[in-house]
Structure 1
Amino acid sequence: MFPGLGGLGGRGGMSPKKMKGMLKSMGIDIDELEGVIEVVIRMPDKEIVIQNASVAIMDAHGQRSYQISGDATERPLSGTEANEGPELEIPESDVDLVVAQTGANHEDARAALLEAKGDLAAAILLLAPK
């Protein structure tokens, strides 16, 4: 369960059952998560995928920690996740302001705000006559 804790000098060491009992007496509970197929760690620019994952959960006084082992690979984010991030919410008041400043209709104002990633000034400039 814990790599590198096999004992001193290769002479065996503490059994996993004895180790678990000792940790429990200190208020630390360790359980193995059964049936895990894969674990995905999503980062801003990539994903780390761990296949054949083994997951141990350690609960120490209400604080949970996860130990994950397995075959790790990296991959870029797929689809729109890599480019857009979370969907941008445009407040109706921002749309109204762009309409008032440019005379555009609501649909065009909302589209300009989405293109400008919510930046009011940039959206107004996009719709301004050239």
Structure 2
Amino acid sequence: MNPRKMKQMMKQMGIDVEELDAERVVIETADGDDLVFDDAQVTKMDAQGQETYQIVGSPETVADAGAGGSPSAVEGGDGSVDATERDAGVTDAIPDEDVALVAERAGVPKSTAREALEDADGDLAAAIADLE
């Protein structure tokens, strides 16, 4: 069926459809393995006051991503590590999920990704940017 005709029929039935410009969608699950969709296509449908969201994309499973995004080596909100934590060796405890994410995004081996994360004090974005 032609998309234009489909839109007309949905409008006649009282269904409003809107594409959302979503950069990231996080679904927090009860078991702690959250689903993270980057660059997903999100459609909002409003049918008689009932809102439905459709997400199209491939999720990554991240252990407890929380509302702020990917987990960091040290809970601090911004992913930064202060001097006391660095001296205590906290940066050595970089989660395997972070290493895998950086390796995948930058297209490098996990050992290279881990080194980049250590150099960036656990900051995912900085490690990926350094490797690209």
How does the TM-score come out when normalised to structure 2?
A: 0.46
Q: Which has the higher strand share?
A: 1
Q: Which has the higher contact order (CA 8 A, sep 6+)?
A: 2
How does the TM-score come out when normalised to structure 1?
A: 0.47
Which one has the largest radius of gyration? Answer: 1
